[in-house]
Structure 1
């Protein structure tokens, strides 16, 4: 069977030697934080309305990556609730309570789903029923990947595990030298053809999914500085893939694109953001840590435009959707900006708990999850 798949976070560090998470905070959470730019009245150039709403438990302690498979979106809550819903209607297809707090989720291929608990258990679910649990030796902050009848896990010490999805048998493990600190946020773990692509430190690495051997490595950033915090380098969250080209962000260091056919870096540009990126054929789009939104040419990294419209706001990674770049905010707003020039197209509202993770799209519907567990479906009018 061909190996295939459809593949935010507050800055928190984990000490690998003891797998202890060190609490962090938003870059704009102090009383001395700069005042956000005024948005002005919302003018809905692109008419969009809320089509449905669903709910689950809170999403605050879990590093959540909603997973899209066809018309289905699978999500999970802090307390161990995992559910799959139809993005077109908002109807829940199945829901299961695992009765254990979760640290990372959710991975799914439409049949099997997988999450990781705070007690470091990898838990597999099939059709709304728990299938098996396997103990992991260290914390996990990246949603598992389910692909090719296997479940892959990227652990906090940068080790990679492969399990049989049906039985839970461990197939292989690839261990790498760890660093003192890692980010408690979604990393890179994706399938690309018959290669498993992960982010290890400041590098994208391609593995053979059958045995864990390394096929290629491409460095996007290198550690700098004199202490562990200054030397922290990680590939952050959402990436953009077009053919053999993958573009990604190295936390607070750079953005760049890699040609996986030859395992080489196409280009890299200095950038100071925390969240992942998204893109299309022509450009990639990212949010800097000060709220500046930037578009770079996909071909060579030249800057296309830069917008301060959302400056000093706490923002998620972007989602490219139609003519829009969609970005969630910690106050519950969802901003739709033009891909061409960042002009505002619409501003949507969820609840005041704030958008928990980067939006996703399925079945012509924009799906947004909030920290209170609200799941909102928006659709063009």
Structure 2
């Protein structure tokens, strides 16, 4: 994904070409913390008072996975099921309605990503940079990659797409593992975020995030069809100039909205590659949204909403500051975020006011909440998965 006139360049097969050297890998949470305050005298979160209880939601089930869950490993929803990976490398699928274990397998070593699946094949990437694909709990094939991967593989159209930490991109045949094409990432970025980037199928495009830009990629060839800038590198050092796009993103029809790390939020019309708007926003995790609005949390815990059409700020609340919030989830009339203290916050989509709070355990949320089978699913770093349902 070169920054020249040809931002993406075909390369030799990823399993055979020389490995790229990553100068430095950084955790987004660490950078965000450094930008807010030093290691001493951290600001304390506000006392939230009594649970407002404006929405009747209660815990329906909880399941212990047997191992802790790493940060930045998104839970995967497929139909009524949710899939979670743990530190020991296990991949567990639960029924969202009941918490019943549907399946479980292990590649035999720790993973660096959440899982990707089309409902038939499940793809994961191990710490030793092995892309492995499983079906019905059995390994179908594996391929060696040249760089670490932190974005879950995308399994779609009989293929497995992988974006590595260096933002190189490759496609593999879902049945055989044969590499179909590969393009290299930018060569001028010394810092790489150790968290999921943007890799999603939108119509007949792969939409990927590269150096502050959304790119539309031909899934058959890897050729770039368009690129839309959401942020440009600024500042005097590498940390300040890091503007990579982070997941999750919000898609409504042709509107795709995403966050550039500690820089901005913006929306692109992928039908014509037009950037609808961008706004300055100092956050480190992705966004969620609906047809009217886009929601996100700043690194200091301020939660904000923007008009999806023009980017005008709709509301902003600071009552959840310094709680290390996850990316949000839009669910019914609420915006749901979990925090580092094990609390799940349900806010009004209309004005950000508190609707309800739910409690998990004190280990804190490992990743953004998801919804499966009409159940709000929250994954704790302790390895316990919680299911909440409306009364």
Instruction: State which of 274, 287, 296 in structure 2 corresponds to 1:277.
Output: 287
Per the alignment, residue 313 of structure 1 pairs with 323
State the Cα deviation string for residues 68-92 of structure 1 (Å, max 9, x = none).
1110111111211001111011111
Per the alignment, residue 241 of structure 2 pairs with 231
Structure 2 spans left out of the alignment, 5+ residues: 1-19
Q: Is the 8 A contact 1:333 1:354 kept in 2?
A: yes
Matches of 2:151 and 2:68, distance apart in 1: 18
Instruction: State which of 276, 294, 299 in structure 1 corresponds to 2:309.
Output: 299
Per the alignment, residue 66 of structure 1 pairs with 75
Per the alignment, residue 343 of structure 1 pairs with 353
Aligned pairs (5 A) from 1:95-174? 95-174=104-183
Matches of 2:205 and 2:268, distance apart in 1: 14
What secondary structure sits across from 2:112 in the alignment?
strand
Relative distance call for 1:344 and 1:240 in structure 2 (3 A) is same
Aligned pairs (5 A) from 1:183-262? 183-262=193-272
Post-superposition shift, 1:18? 4.1
Relative to its length, the structure with more strand (as a share) is: 1
Matches of 2:343 and 2:274, distance apart in 1: 38
Aligned pairs (5 A) from 1:346-365? 346-365=356-375
Matches of 1:42 and 1:290, distance apart in 2: 22
Moved more, 18-27 or 177-186: 18-27
Per the alignment, residue 3 of structure 2 pairs with none
What secondary structure sits across from 1:50 in the alignment?
strand
The answer as to 2:53 corresponding to 1:44 is yes
The answer as to 2:25 corresponding to 1:21 is yes
Per the alignment, residue 13 of structure 1 pairs with none
What secondary structure sits across from 1:158 in the alignment?
coil
Per the alignment, residue 5 of structure 1 pairs with none
Moved more, 204-213 or 23-32: 23-32
Q: Is the 8 A contact 1:271 1:288 kept in 2?
A: yes
Moved more, 20-29 or 90-99: 20-29
RMSD: 1.4
State the Cα deviation string for residues 325-368 of structure 1 (Å, max 9, x = none).
00010111110001011111111111111100001111110011
Post-superposition shift, 1:30? 2.8
Relative distance call for 1:370 and 1:19 in structure 2 (3 A) is farther
Matches of 1:191 and 1:357, distance apart in 2: 21
Q: Is the 8 A contact 1:17 1:180 kept in 2?
A: no
Relative distance call for 1:45 and 1:29 in structure 2 (3 A) is farther
Per the alignment, residue 75 of structure 1 pairs with 84
What secondary structure sits across from 1:30 in the alignment?
coil
Instruction: State which of 94, 97, 121 in structure 2 corresponds to 1:85.
Output: 94
Matches of 2:61 and 2:46, distance apart in 1: 30
Matches of 1:286 and 1:87, distance apart in 2: 25
Q: Which contiguous aligned blocks of 4+ residues in structure 1 show a shift greater than 3 angstroms?
A: 18-24
Structure 1 spans left out of the alignment, 5+ residues: 1-15
Per the alignment, residue 388 of structure 2 pairs with 378
Instruction: State which of 325, 328, 343 in structure 1 corresponds to 2:335.
Output: 325
Per the alignment, residue 10 of structure 1 pairs with none
Moved more, 126-135 or 323-332: 126-135
